[in-house]
């Protein structure tokens, strides 16, 4: 007898299984595996993300309570705490990194026409990092301070759709600026960063790659003014200058002109000084570009509130990276569903609905559309809104 698919299976159907199997073969993920495949591992961990489970034992208890339904979820292996722990410990985390990347590429195509609120055709990225605190006794490989451990998520966010296109996971001691060495810069794109990423040798790589950066200037910057452009003070722009660095070591690393813009936020009165290698855009657009950087801060807040990445199910480096990448894959998967089904509700609401309906047999589009009109979210300044 034909059994209608559960909501959880309808969601995971948005992953192309052949693409997943190619990734598994790339890293020999199922080598000598008899009963609990990488797909089983992913489904169990994704279930834990969607239903807000707190541990592997929690996942095991919930799934075993629905043993007759597991086959229809796509889980073929026997679910147990030890089997899942061993899989997270030993199977290459890059399997789920590559899975997330395939989903990210798909999501970026779907969100490529989203309105940034600026008259820009170019791609705009925001770069920042967030720190996740860990227990030093349980995670000695992630030593951060004398009595503290931590990992950092260095994230490059495509602001059209808030899709993370690059994530590097490091121990907490890695300086933010070093992640610039790992980026493959896209010609014509804008990269918005805070002043922690000001390193003139690395910033000059943007010039050589025909990419643009927007960042804040450090207070001790030494420069020589070459040109002052006219400004409209009522907009908050106090000065728009073309400058040359004065410090000899800085000039050695950055032998070119920069644009320096002084802006005073009219709402807060805060004074900000920006540096950029773009000389064409109006100064106010540069200021608004930097303001859009806060979307990456909101992204970090959202994933910490809605995904299981603050408490880890395993203590090894491989287990931590596996859990983070599966959580990112789930995030992007839900973003794809939102766009594919043309939903206006936030990702938070979609996750909440899915969390209590994973065993519902109602068509996913119908389930979410039915709840869309009943779940309205009042936008607040500190909450990430994915509806534009």
Q: What is the pLDDT of residue 386?
A: 35
16 pLDDT higher than 50:
yes
Strand pairing report for 237-245 and 258-264: antiparallel
Q: What is the pLDDT of residue 119?
A: 79
Give 183-227 pLDDT, tens digit per residue. Answer: 999 999 999 999 999 999 999 999 999 999 999 999 899 999 999
Q: What is the pLDDT of residue 84?
A: 95
52 pLDDT higher than 60:
yes
Share of the chain above pLDDT 90, in %: 77
**188 in Cβ contact with 211 (< 8 Å):** yes
- Decide: helix, strand or coil at residue 377: coil
Would you say residue 86 lies in a domain? yes
Q: CA 84, CA 46: separation in Å to the nearest integer? A: 12
Statement: the pTM of the whole predicted model exceeds 0.75 = yes
If you count them, how many residues does the chain have?
A: 388
120 pLDDT higher than 90:
no
Q: What is the pLDDT of residue 32?
A: 87
CA distances from 388 to 92, 117, 122, 331, 351 (A): 37, 9, 18, 18, 18
**152 in Cβ contact with 321 (< 8 Å):** no
384 pLDDT higher than 80:
no
Would you say residue 298 lies in a domain? no
- The whole-number average pLDDT for the span 45-74 is 93
Would you say residue 77 lies in a domain? yes
Alpha helices in 241-316 (DSSP H): 248-253, 283-291, 294-306
Give 248-296 pLDDT, tens digit per residue. Answer: 999 999 999 999 999 998 888 899 999 999 999 999 999 999 999 999 9
Q: What is the pLDDT of residue 36?
A: 93
Average model confidence (pLDDT) for the chain? 91
Q: Is 342 left (phi over 0), alpha (psi -120 to 50) or beta?
A: left
Would you say residue 242 lies in a domain? no
Q: What is the pLDDT of residue 245?
A: 96
Would you say residue 128 lies in a domain? no
- Of residues 87, 2, 80, the one with CA closest to residue 42: 87
232 or 25, which is more confident?
25
**109 in Cβ contact with 41 (< 8 Å):** no
Listed as own residue / partner, the contacts of 66-72 with beta carbons closer than 8 Å and 24 or more positions apart are 66/359, 69/6, 69/359, 72/3, 72/5, 72/6, 72/9
Question: How does residue 382 score in pLDDT terms, banded at 50, 70 and 90?
Answer: very low
Q: What is the CA 353 to chain-centroid distance, rounded?
A: 22
The total of other beta-carbon atoms located within 10 Å of residue 40's CB is 23
Give 85-104 pLDDT, tens digit per residue. Answer: 999 999 999 999 999 999 99
Q: Which domain holds residue 352?
A: 7-96+315-372
Q: What is the pLDDT of residue 374?
A: 59
**231 in Cβ contact with 237 (< 8 Å):** yes
HSE value, Cβ hemisphere, 13 Å, CA-based, for 350 = 28
Q: What is the pLDDT of residue 145?
A: 85
Query: Tokens 């939102």 belong to which residue?
Result: 338
Share of the chain above pLDDT 70, in %: 95
Strand pairing report for 163-171 and 237-245: unpaired
Q: CA 127, CA 202: separation in Å to the nearest integer? A: 14
**48 in Cβ contact with 20 (< 8 Å):** no
Per the structure, the count of domains in the chain is 1
Would you say residue 324 lies in a domain? yes
Would you say residue 74 lies in a domain? yes
Would you say residue 145 lies in a domain? no
Q: What is the pLDDT of residue 214?
A: 97
**189 in Cβ contact with 108 (< 8 Å):** no
């Amino acid at each position: 007898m034909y059994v209608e698919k559960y909501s959880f299976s309808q969601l995971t159907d948005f992953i192309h299984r052949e693409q997943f199997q190619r990734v598994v073969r790339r890293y020999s993920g199922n080598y000598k595996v008899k009963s609990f495949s990488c797909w089983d591992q992913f489904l169990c961990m994704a279930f834990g993300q969607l239903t807000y489970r707190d541990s592997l034992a929690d996942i095991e208890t919930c799934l075993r309570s629905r043993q007759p339904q597991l086959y229809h979820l796509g889980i073929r292996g026997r679910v147990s705490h030890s089997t899942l722990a061993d899989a997270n410990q030993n199977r290459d985390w890059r399997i789920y990194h590559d899975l997330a990347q395939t989903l990210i590429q798909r999501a970026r195509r779907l969100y490529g026409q989203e309105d940034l609120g600026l008259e820009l055709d170019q791609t705009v990225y925001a770069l920042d990092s967030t720190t996740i605190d860990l227990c030093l006794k349980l995670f000695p490989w992630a030593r951060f301070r004398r009595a503290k451990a931590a990992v950092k998520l260095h994230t490059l966010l495509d602001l059209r759709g808030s899709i993370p296109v690059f994530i590097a996971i490091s121990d907490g001691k890695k300086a933010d600026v070093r992640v610039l060495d790992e980026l493959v810069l896209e010609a014509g794109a804008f990269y918005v960063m805070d002043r922690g990423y000001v390193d003139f040798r690395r910033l000059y790589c943007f010039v050589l790659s025909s990419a643009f950066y927007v960042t804040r200037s450090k207070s001790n910057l030494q420069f020589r003014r070459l040109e002052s452009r006219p400004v409209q003070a009522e907009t908050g722009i106090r000065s728009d200058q073309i400058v040359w660095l004065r410090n000899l070591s800085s000039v050695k690393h950055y032998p070119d002109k920069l644009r320096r813009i002084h802006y005073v936020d009219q709402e807060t009165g805060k004074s900000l000084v920006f540096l950029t290698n773009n000389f064409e855009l109006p100064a106010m657009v540069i200021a608004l570009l930097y303001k859009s950087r806060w979307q990456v801060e909101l992204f970090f807040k959202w994933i910490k509130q809605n995904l299981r990445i603050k408490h880890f199910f395993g203590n090894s480096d491989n287990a931590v990276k596996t859990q983070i990448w599966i959580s990112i894959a789930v995030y992007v998967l839900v973003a794809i569903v939102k766009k594919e089904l043309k939903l206006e509700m936030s990702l938070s609401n979609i996750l909440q609905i899915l969390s209590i309906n994973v065993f519902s047999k109602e068509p996913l589009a119908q389930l979410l559309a039915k709840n869309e009109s009943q779940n309205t979210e009042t936008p607040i300044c500190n909450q990430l809104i994915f509806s534009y």
